[in-house]
Structure 1
Amino acid sequence: MQKFQSVCPFCGTGCSLTLYVENNDIVKVEPNKNAPSNKGMACVKGLSSHEFVKNKERLKKPLIKKNNKFVEFSWDEAIRYVAKNLKQIIKKHGGNSIGILNSSKCTNEENFLMYELASKVLKSPNVDQCARLCHMPSGIAYSKMFGISAMSCSYSDFEKAKAIMICGANPAVQHPIIFNHILNAKRKGVKLIVVDPRKSKTAKSADIHVEIEEGKDDAFYIAICKYLIKNNLIDKEMLRRTKDYDFFIEELKPFGDINELCEYAGVNPNLVEEIGQLIGNNKTIFINGLGLTESAGCVTNVELVGCMALLTGNIGKEGTGVAPLRGQCNVQGASDIQAYYNKKLKYDKNGFPYFEKKFNTALSSTEMVEGILTGQIKALYIMGENPAMSHPNLKLNYKAFKKAEFIVVQDIFMTETAKFADVVLPAASFAEKDGTFTNSERRVQLLEKAVSYNGIEDWKIICMIAKAMGNKKDFNYKNTKQIWDKLRKKIDIYSEITYKKIKQNYGVQFPATKKSEKVLYKSYFYHKEGKAIFPSIRIYPPSMIRNKNFPFRLITAGTLEHFQTGTMSRHCQTLTKINNEPFVNINPKDAKRLKIKDNTMVEITAPNKQKIKAKAKITNDVKENYLFMPVHFNEAKVNLLTSEKLIDISKTPEYKGIIVKIKKI
């Protein structure tokens, strides 16, 4: 029996796995006991990950749509067809008319190559990936404040803290192994604060649960910042390492007093004092998730979390830090490549590192949809993403996909998005490729190719298309190590990370430059003068307010047994046995008032007149006038209900801002 090292393809925890193979068949998956990220632990999804790899519904041959039906073609024919059509569109409309979607489920090497294809062959600036829909606000906020958008600490720091504050995240369900690290810390006396409108599994383990009103996080965090400043619970040494602190204080003044802010946020003001004293006097780690980044004040929400860390000096030391949890296995890596592909690391006159500013003219993934409808975008090349499930206002997306002149989808299954494509190219899964993922704690880890079931590695497909379009010189790679060595010359934060170092150390954490430090921000932030920057602050109220016609706020998220749009997890037999149908959580009082019984079918309707159906599950985990639904099920596509409205500079959809009505069927 052969053993191959790999990384779990689901959430951003980055659990190291060993794949056991006999006769080109994965017979067992085990967590790696020596890996620092998971220490021999894995959740049910990770242990079942081999099941979708060898699922019989995997795409096997390239498909080209003829007379509205898919027909199998050879790889040579399909690649020539793709190259021919892309060339024609570039000749007629220019490279700017092509939109490219990278994937956080693909390797760093593959994401990098897609940028190379876009810049050197397609001549298009329009490259984006799924972080736009979730973690882009963290990217913007922490890059502006600290210079790098990433977890500043490591999972091992959790037990060195005295408090952990989880803001809009449910790691017990979304990141189970990270939550195990948190529970281990809690057993050693670390206090756990959870800010969440639901009684989530994570919230039920908290010492302090702040049951905030959805979309009003910014007001609550402003109240805490005001309390810290008013009561002198600030770290003056840390403030000397910052800029614009006086400006920040002035920015806070118009927002009223703490009681007014708490009333708006639906929070008891006593909690502000309790939390303020706890984080102001103790080492604290601040974790944030999609509850912040998919709400109305998304960038501001994350900035305020960063402000709490700066004010209390809880960054740049062991047992402290900011910790954005990444939702997919390579969100961090794909985002690093997106952020730093054309941005060089420089040093100021005092030797402090900083990144030069980059002017970005690219359309976001959500803007590409609008671009198709206006005629600006003519073609889409989609690698490993499923926007026909994940994008907001799906009906608008469907209209755009039907209008596009040419769509190429590269994936492992016939997804909802692939059904709209003109060409579908069968790709390889995580177990069928070499390469690297970067996890939430900035750890770059290797995947080893273990088997060959179906499809071709994404990086090889990209090279085939580039060569067919006339560029053989820049895409003549023989293996992923060659791509990585090119990547780390371009992406400065990875410059000192080699495959050899990754193998020797169960992964290497970035930034890994000649002058980098193990503890992020210990001596400097990645700005000129080495200083962090306090942001400008404003409150963004939810764009839609509950009313008599739509009296419920719908919260959407994931479940323990499934992942994102279900492409992988719903092809795992173990996971579908646990649950394989959509549901909606409703409070018992609301259910009684509407005469809805447990496990009966209900209909949920949004202001855009879209409707979906699901089974009602009655629970006290949601407050009155709130509902919860998972995002995984194409039988009840929750994003039919979401608005296409994009939030602030992040251009992220307001997924947590849905208002709906519900009735029994």
Structure 2
Amino acid sequence: MSLATANDTDRLIDEFALMRKEGPLTRQLLQEPGGFGLGMIPNGCKPDSTTKMVCGFCSTGCSLNVHLKEGEAVGLTPATGDPVNVGMACPKGWEAVSVLDSPARATTPLLRRNDRLEPVSWDNALTTFAERIKAIIAEHGPDSVAFISTGQIPTEEMAMLGALAKFGMGLRHGDGNTRQCMATAVVAYKQAFGFDAPPYTYQDFEESDMIVLVGSNLCIAHPIMWERVLKNKRDPDIVVIDPRCTETAMAATWHLQIKPKSDLALFYGVANILAERGWLDESFIERHTEGVDDFVKHVAPYNLDRVSHETGLESTAIETFARFIHERERTSFWWTMGINQSYEGVRAAQSIINLALLTGNIGRPGTGANSITGQCNAMGSRLFSNTTSLFAGRDFTNDAHRQEVAETLGIDVDLIPSTTSWDYATIMENVLAGKVKALWVIATNPAHSWINQNACRDILSRLDFLVVQDSYVDTETAKSADLVLPAAAWGEKEGTFINSERRLGVIKRVKQAPGQALADFSIFKLIAHYWGCDDLFREWTSPEATFQILSRLSKGQPCDISGVEDYRMIDDAGGIQWPCPEGSPPSLANQRRLFEDHAFYTPSGRARFKFEEPKPLSEPPDDHYPLILLTGRGTSAQWHTQTRTRQSAVLRKLYPQQIYVEINPIDAKELNLEADEWVSVESRRGRVKARAFLTNSVQPGQVFLPMHYEPVNRLTDAVFDPYSRQPSYKACAVRVGPWRVHHGV
């Protein structure tokens, strides 16, 4: 039964049947489950009932009970008894349904004419899409078109996009916005463990004797994970390592307030103490790691005096931290963007991994070197988006991998590119260089979120053709588009997400998409039809059919999900963590910690120590720009570029509407600034007007801006980690002064 009436359904089908001038699409295609986002009640649900689904905001993957009335979602409550959130939800989760009802929703295709976006039919939009991109490729070659994917849509949609773009349309280059948040962790794990493998389960929060949070404001960024910390009955030490005194640091038992980007020096110094004093798990190291001797030699020069000078910490604090790691039976290390978004983030992440390996804190309850993911489906993107990595963690340059994928999909291996895609930064650089002429952006907002915003917007303006596929038309990127394709949002389509602890969760269609908006999966299917490559996707009939394809692609890989039968199995289990190979006992499906057998995914089966000398700040403060800018989460009611959270009246009441900058009172006095005064925050790239918030949460010489406000990335410096190519958002040089002085007001 449809959420729409039978007459409405027939009307929509008839409208879509007229889309193709050369001949209508079949009613069978239009009516199939998941086909065109018409909004079906979840299987087995009555019109007035409750169904369970995973939240669509962050990577925590909370389970929500969505309440239906006459077949349409009218509200929700957090699911009790769930292995992730155990009956809790953050403000964003509570408002997940309300943000769907927004006047800013994209409801019809829009095409730019005479410098204005005007409504057009789907037929016009997709004919334009295919004709213009084919013309650009014909004139400039296959490198002239690229796409930017996302960590916000279901895994099946990401996979369909990656297969369509790479195998069907012949595009060579595409990346995801997960490059901005998780690329560092991906590369760090691959180099150390042999595969992108966060090893933990959330139960580890409750089973640790010491929880070390590095560059992570868990209270704000992942509040449900913080609730799991609070459920720990082992009276753990909670150590926060962060330049800023965050909400998490205030609630911790111990805050190590280091200088910005001094993580490597600290962790190398701690490793040196552990080695010098014989506080190593020699048995674990000998049996399950490689490279320890070279690592111990590398950290030997990091004595207490040096590390104290470079980090700004007292020697006794560093020594005590090392001793605690040694004395506690179960230490877990956790990090997020404070580590990942750095010009040396990969080696910083690996310096944390090294400590876990030195002390055998991996593969046991309450341990691990644990990267916390950002977006709701960044893990799905990392494994199955088919952008810079081939499906299920394979390599485009590996002939055997390409052959495996070709045989699994039943396609010609020559359709699969044999070269690795350009990463996000390189795509943008090649737009600037005139090599990329068209860009297809799906469910992301680079005009707000990409580093050095002014340069980014200039780059986007140089494109011959910018296509934005999104659920909202008020994003900064959509406003600049040549073509907007309206997409259904979370709750208006179906599929799976993979959360931070590798757990698959199901999303369901509990509300009808507004206007003519379609599920991204349906848009990709239509594009395949208009492009003329839909024969390749005969088996990709629905999201769940696509899930079965991904299951086959994963078989034998570390992320094997071939034992997951269908969506109902995931739903009934409360989510299933990978790996879940065929024949896995059901008892293992709910909590699966990696490396309990201490077998890693490297050729030797051993984890690797990775290290190198730290580099200085890419843009240190000087006489002209004497302060260091830090950026990060604002409140638990905000999310990324606020595309969705600003649509909720409730959430808008929970955070400041005006951008503010945190300044230490000592600096404010020196600069003659008053609390709540309008000030100018200026870098070499741009300036921002913000309210001054005087607080000791930032150290003298530093200021902090929440990343959610649109102007912030005017300031950030476009430097990148050399291994992950992730932008370094967290530290650049700025100056602050009264707005009236700077602008003559």
Kindly state the Cα deviation for residue 24 of structure 1 after the two structures are TM-superposed. 5.6
Amino acid in structure 2 at the alignment position of 1:28: G
Q: Secondary structure at the match of 1:35?
A: coil
Q: Where do 1:439-450 residues align within 5 Å?
A: 439-450=499-510
**Greater mean deviation of Cα atoms: 641-650 or 170-179:** 641-650
**CA distance in 2 between partners of 1:647 and 1:321 (Å):** 24
- Residue 194 of structure 1: which of 223, 240, 251 is its match? 240
Q: Secondary structure at the match of 1:448?
A: strand
**Which residue of the partner structure matches residue 15 of structure 2?**
none
**Which residue of the partner structure matches residue 393 of structure 1?**
452
**Greater mean deviation of Cα atoms: 409-418 or 643-652:** 643-652
Counterpart contact for 1:554–1:628, Cα < 8 Å: yes
Counterpart contact for 1:300–1:538, Cα < 8 Å: no
Q: Secondary structure at the match of 2:161?
A: helix
- Residue 264 of structure 1: which of 281, 285, 310 is its match? 310
C-alpha RMSD of matched pairs (Å): 1.8
Whether 1:640 and 2:714 are equivalent positions in the alignment is: yes
**CA distance in 1 between partners of 2:541 and 2:582 (Å):** 28
Whether 1:496 and 2:563 are equivalent positions in the alignment is: yes
Q: Secondary structure at the match of 2:60?
A: coil
Q: Secondary structure at the match of 2:97?
A: helix
Amino acid in structure 1 at the alignment position of 2:94: L
Q: Secondary structure at the match of 2:99?
A: helix
Kindly state the Cα deviation for residue 466 of structure 1 after the two structures are TM-superposed. 1.3
Kindly state the Cα deviation for residue 496 of structure 1 after the two structures are TM-superposed. 2.4
- Residue 582 of structure 1: which of 651, 659, 668 is its match? 659
Counterpart contact for 2:384–2:393, Cα < 8 Å: no
**CA distance in 1 between partners of 2:254 and 2:208 (Å):** 16
Amino acid in structure 1 at the alignment position of 2:602: H
**Which residue of the partner structure matches residue 341 of structure 1?**
391
Unaligned ranges ≥5, structure 2: 1-47, 396-404, 406-416, 740-745
Amino acid in structure 2 at the alignment position of 1:321: G
Whether 1:279 and 2:346 are equivalent positions in the alignment is: no
Counterpart contact for 2:326–2:359, Cα < 8 Å: yes
Q: Secondary structure at the match of 1:567?
A: coil
Counterpart contact for 1:99–1:368, Cα < 8 Å: yes
**CA distance in 2 between partners of 1:439 and 1:163 (Å):** 23
Q: Where do 1:41-120 residues align within 5 Å?
A: 41-120=88-167
Whether 1:611 and 2:687 are equivalent positions in the alignment is: yes
Amino acid in structure 2 at the alignment position of 1:190: P
Q: Secondary structure at the match of 2:191?
A: helix
- For the structure 1 residues 605 and 359, does the alpha-carbon distance in structure 2 shift closer, same or farther, using more than 3 Å as the test? farther
**CA distance in 2 between partners of 1:151 and 1:182 (Å):** 18
**CA distance in 2 between partners of 1:334 and 1:47 (Å):** 25
Kindly state the Cα deviation for residue 391 of structure 1 after the two structures are TM-superposed. 0.5
Kindly state the Cα deviation for residue 529 of structure 1 after the two structures are TM-superposed. 2.8
Q: Secondary structure at the match of 2:231?
A: helix
Q: Where do 1:161-180 residues align within 5 Å?
A: 161-180=208-227
- For the structure 1 residues 620 and 223, does the alpha-carbon distance in structure 2 shift closer, same or farther, using more than 3 Å as the test? same
Counterpart contact for 1:140–1:149, Cα < 8 Å: yes
Q: Where do 1:532-611 residues align within 5 Å?
A: 532-559=607-634, 560-579=636-655, 580-608=657-685, 610-611=686-687
- For the structure 1 residues 242 and 291, does the alpha-carbon distance in structure 2 shift closer, same or farther, using more than 3 Å as the test? same
| 1:140-175 CA-partner distances (Å, limit 9, x unpaired) | 011111123243111112221111100110010000
Q: Secondary structure at the match of 1:152?
A: coil
Whether 1:406 and 2:460 are equivalent positions in the alignment is: no
**CA distance in 2 between partners of 1:156 and 1:406 (Å):** 47
- Residue 199 of structure 2: which of 140, 143, 152 is its match? 152
Whether 1:429 and 2:489 are equivalent positions in the alignment is: yes
Larger radius of gyration between Structure 1 and Structure 2: 2
**CA distance in 2 between partners of 1:251 and 1:123 (Å):** 46
- For the structure 1 residues 496 and 94, does the alpha-carbon distance in structure 2 shift closer, same or farther, using more than 3 Å as the test? farther
Counterpart contact for 1:90–1:122, Cα < 8 Å: no
**CA distance in 2 between partners of 1:496 and 1:250 (Å):** 44
Kindly state the Cα deviation for residue 416 of structure 1 after the two structures are TM-superposed. 0.4
Counterpart contact for 2:428–2:459, Cα < 8 Å: yes
Q: Where do 1:352-363 residues align within 5 Å?
A: 361-363=420-422
**Which residue of the partner structure matches residue 12 of structure 1?**
59
- Residue 654 of structure 1: which of 714, 723, 728 is its match? 728
For normalisation by structure 2, the TM-score amounts to 0.85
**CA distance in 2 between partners of 1:314 and 1:604 (Å):** 42
Amino acid in structure 1 at the alignment position of 2:562: S
**CA distance in 2 between partners of 1:93 and 1:512 (Å):** 44
Question: In percent, how many aligned pairs have the same letter?
Answer: 30
Q: Secondary structure at the match of 1:530?
A: coil
Q: Where do 1:445-460 residues align within 5 Å?
A: 445-454=505-514, 455-460=517-522
Q: Secondary structure at the match of 1:218?
A: helix
Kindly state the Cα deviation for residue 23 of structure 1 after the two structures are TM-superposed. 4.0
For normalisation by structure 1, the TM-score amounts to 0.95
| 1:55-101 CA-partner distances (Å, limit 9, x unpaired) | 12211100000111001011121111111111112222222222111
| 1:432-476 CA-partner distances (Å, limit 9, x unpaired) | 010001111110000111011322111111111111101112234
- For the structure 1 residues 236 and 360, does the alpha-carbon distance in structure 2 shift closer, same or farther, using more than 3 Å as the test? farther
Q: Secondary structure at the match of 1:430?
A: coil
**Which residue of the partner structure matches residue 350 of structure 1?**
none
Q: Secondary structure at the match of 1:437?
A: strand
Counterpart contact for 1:54–1:453, Cα < 8 Å: no
**Which residue of the partner structure matches residue 376 of structure 2?**
329
Unaligned ranges ≥5, structure 1: 346-354
Whether 1:466 and 2:528 are equivalent positions in the alignment is: yes
Amino acid in structure 2 at the alignment position of 1:229: A
Whether 1:216 and 2:262 are equivalent positions in the alignment is: yes
Q: Secondary structure at the match of 2:219?
A: helix
**Greater mean deviation of Cα atoms: 173-182 or 494-503:** 494-503
**CA distance in 2 between partners of 1:55 and 1:30 (Å):** 21
Counterpart contact for 2:631–2:731, Cα < 8 Å: no
| 1:281-310 CA-partner distances (Å, limit 9, x unpaired) | 321111001111112321111000000000
Amino acid in structure 2 at the alignment position of 1:495: S
- Residue 574 of structure 2: which of 481, 506, 512 is its match? 506
- For the structure 1 residues 418 and 24, does the alpha-carbon distance in structure 2 shift closer, same or farther, using more than 3 Å as the test? farther
| 1:368-412 CA-partner distances (Å, limit 9, x unpaired) | 111011122111111101000111111111111111111111001
Counterpart contact for 1:95–1:122, Cα < 8 Å: no
**CA distance in 2 between partners of 1:340 and 1:317 (Å):** 31
Q: Secondary structure at the match of 2:53?
A: strand
Counterpart contact for 1:296–1:657, Cα < 8 Å: no
Kindly state the Cα deviation for residue 25 of structure 1 after the two structures are TM-superposed. 4.4
**CA distance in 2 between partners of 1:125 and 1:304 (Å):** 34
**CA distance in 2 between partners of 1:423 and 1:145 (Å):** 42
**Which residue of the partner structure matches residue 549 of structure 2?**
486
Q: Where do 1:523-538 residues align within 5 Å?
A: 523=597, 524-538=599-613
**CA distance in 1 between partners of 2:125 and 2:714 (Å):** 32
**CA distance in 1 between partners of 2:181 and 2:120 (Å):** 36
**Which residue of the partner structure matches residue 348 of structure 1?**
none
**How many equivalent residue pairs?**
649
